[in-house]
A and B are shown apart, each in its own frame.
Chain A
């Protein structure tokens, strides 16, 4: 215990642990609960049965009523512990409830029906993970379809984004031509015009091109990101021109120079753009909401939104789907956090 405390209060350089250190720790622990708590709560809840979800106040872990198969009854019956009255201490299964009285049966003696006041019985519960919330997403709902739509849009859009943006960045970083500054400024200026401003006319262009209700209607408007061009151009400026000239001496085509020299050398910046693009497209909501109106074209985000009905929300499946949607991003976060945070800190974009 002392070593643990010693570790937790350890500080580099200076000695001692003063009031501000305690306050900082309290803040951080509270922050951790506030940031992770709700997510963890959703993960735990996603394993609960409908009955357990309806329980109030809720239990932390997913509990479900224990059932028992009793001879002479088709369905398994719920098991109760009797806490008072005539049968105190016994475990009985409930057949049905009539008003304040429950008709119960002892699993050992299936023929005898017993009457118990409902106040005198406590449901027997056991920890049970309702994996069916997840499996039913595939069997009863079109989850695989939504997943495929999301993956398709994310992967294709990211490949095109990286390709087009790096080509443009290469041209702007490694060639001197008339209009270079103008083109660069024009691209940077579009940072000022987020797509949210041009929803109506972009919708016209997309519908003219026949891409409404098609994943391409989501992909094409999103691939020419000014952020990507800017990020890659800044990085490519640091690649020495001598390398390119040496390749040209060996009669490499410009395409080869770009593909074989500049692209591999820009790998760190390309990695950052790839991660950004994956996050952007995976999390996109408003534009897909406008373009994709048929449910078989829905991305995961749209499906999640449509699952929460106006009046009745099917929480057991919605929660499972929420968890499956946040899972990939959580993996990205766990393994690539460093790339993402340095990328953001350097470029100031997200």
Chain B
């Protein structure tokens, strides 16, 4: 440990010494009034190249066609990509749409978002309430629920794929209990159930943590007063805990909505969007259209991502409004 910290210190020192002279020169060149920009510059250059510029470029891609990546080689097609995506006789039936997979992905995403976020909030709340109690080994149990949050999505998916496979642990357990085994990831309905389950398993701990922080921010004298008045446990929960936790709940709701709309990694590895397109979500469609399939339809992918961005923008503005009102309130 001392060796490591000495090494870090030496590198830190060396970095400082080698950079001081040139940066002092820059400081004298630009003057004290503009020295802040010297510090901002590296970050802003990266932001510009990989965030701001792409936002603008995205619109150029969405309005041009062909499979060329260079914008100069792409013919202008106007709103053609959007028209292709939105060409549908009946929006509730993906089979009547020109891009039927896009609409299937939208349907799946909507279903996924509602189920995943709804169930995750219920389970996170129950878990947070229990972990907030006075129980032995509380610290350990908190760690237990948080651990999967740190695992990579690929690892999460592979862990569950191994448990759920045809001759896996779950099926062995079911047969042991006298039930029949199921080919979980081949059946469309079960696959959908499992992508909801696995994403909740992997991300729940994060929301439990935020809810716990919210629960602990509720002053204890409120509870003591209620206890003095002889309020029942349910009454305390409905009249004190829930109302005082609402702002935290809204933050959790919005954060989990934003993430659910963009769900991809675990599902891609676990089911590959299948069977068929049963678990293909919107980001999967974008990846498939723009990068995996040949020819690469960049325009269609960009148009789809702009539609997704619109949804996310609304959700994020909601989040900002909520956090602001919470900070002020």
A339 contacts partner chain B, Cβ-Cβ < 8 Å: no
Q: How many residues of B contact A (CB 8 A)?
A: 102
Pick from A164, A190, A191, A315 the residue with the most CB of B within 10 Å.
Answer: A164
The CA of A282 and the CA of B151, in the complex, are separated in Å by: 10
A194 near B58: Cβ-Cβ < 8 Å: no
| Known A57-B175, A304-B155; further 14 A-B contacts with Cβ < 8 A | A21-B133, A56-B167, A171-B37, A175-B36, A193-B55, A194-B312, A202-B50, A204-B71, A205-B54, A220-B50, A253-B23, A253-B24, A283-B152, A286-B287
Contact check, B148 vs A198: say whether CB atoms are below 8 A apart.
Answer: no
Is chain A's binding surface mostly helix, strand, loop or mixed? helix
Tell me, rounded to whole Å, the shortest Cβ–Cβ distance linking B75 to chain A: 16
Known A224-B46, A344-B209; contact A315-B162, beta-carbon cutoff 8 A: yes
Of the listed stretches B91-99, B109-117, B187-195, B301-309, chain A binds B301-309
- Asked if B287 contacts A36 (CB within 8 A), the reply is no
Is B102 positioned at the interface, with any CB of A under 8 Å from its CB? no
Q: How far is the CA of A319 from the CA of B160 in the complex (A)?
A: 11
Interface 1/0s, chain A 192-221, versus B by CB < 8 A?
111111111111110100000000000011
Residue among A13, A34, A56, A332 making CB contact with B172, cutoff 8 Å:
A56
Asked if B125 CB lies within 8 Å of chain A CBs, one says no
Select from chain A the residue with minimum beta-carbon distance to B320: A192
B255 within 8 A of A: yes
B306 CB contacts on chain A under 8 angstroms: 197
Confirm or deny: B158 has a beta carbon within 8 angstroms of a beta carbon on chain A.
yes
Closest Cβ of chain B to A54, distance in Å, is 8
CB distance from B119 to the nearest CB of A (A): 14
Listed residue (B43, B283, B287) with the most chain A CB atoms within 10 angstroms of its CB:
B43
Q: Which residues of chain B from 161 to 181 have any CB-CB distance to chain A below 8 Å in the complex? A: 161-163, 167-169, 172, 175-176
What's the nearest-Cβ distance from chain A to residue B153, in Å?
A: 6
Q: Return 29 A-B CB contacts under 8 Å, by A number.
A: A10-B136, A13-B134, A20-B233, A25-B135, A27-B126, A27-B130, A28-B135, A31-B144, A39-B148, A39-B151, A45-B162, A54-B167, A57-B176, A167-B42, A183-B40, A197-B306, A198-B54, A199-B291, A204-B71, A205-B54, A224-B51, A254-B27, A255-B24, A301-B154, A305-B269, A326-B152, A329-B152, A344-B210, A348-B323
* Residues B152 and A183 in contact, CB atoms below 8 Å apart: no
| Listed residue (A10, A165, A305) with the most chain B CB atoms within 10 angstroms of its CB | A305
A21–B135 touching, CB < 8 Å? yes
With A32-B141, A167-B43, A175-B35 already in contact, the answer to whether A322 and B155 are too (CB < 8 A) is: yes
Contact with A along B290-302 (1 / 0, CB 8 A): 1100000010011
What is the total of A-B residue contacts with beta carbons within 8 Å? 290
Once bound together, how far apart are the Cα atoms of A39 and B323, in whole Å?
36
User: Nearest Cβ distance between residue B329 and chain A, in whole angstroms?
Assistant: 16
Collect the chain A residues with CB atoms within 8 Å of residue B251's CB: 348
Number of interface residues of A (CB under 8 A): 99
Min distance, Cβ A295 to any Cβ of chain B, angstroms: 16
| Of B33, B50, B136, the contact of A7 (CB 8 Å cutoff) | B136
What residues of B have a CB within 8 angstroms of the CB of A32 in the complex?
Answer: 141, 144
Binding site for B on A (CB under 8 A): 7-14, 20-21, 24-25, 27-28, 31-32, 34-36, 38-39, 41-42, 45, 54, 56-58, 163-165, 167-168, 170-172, 175, 177, 180, 183, 186-187, 190-205, 207, 220-221, 223-224, 229, 253-256, 258-260, 279, 282-283, 285-286, 289-290, 301, 304-305, 308, 315, 318-319, 322, 325-326, 329-330, 332-333, 337, 340-341, 344-345, 348, 350
Q: Judging by beta carbons under 8 Å apart, are A305 and B154 in contact?
A: yes
Bound complex: CA of A190 vs CA of B32, how far in Å?
Answer: 28
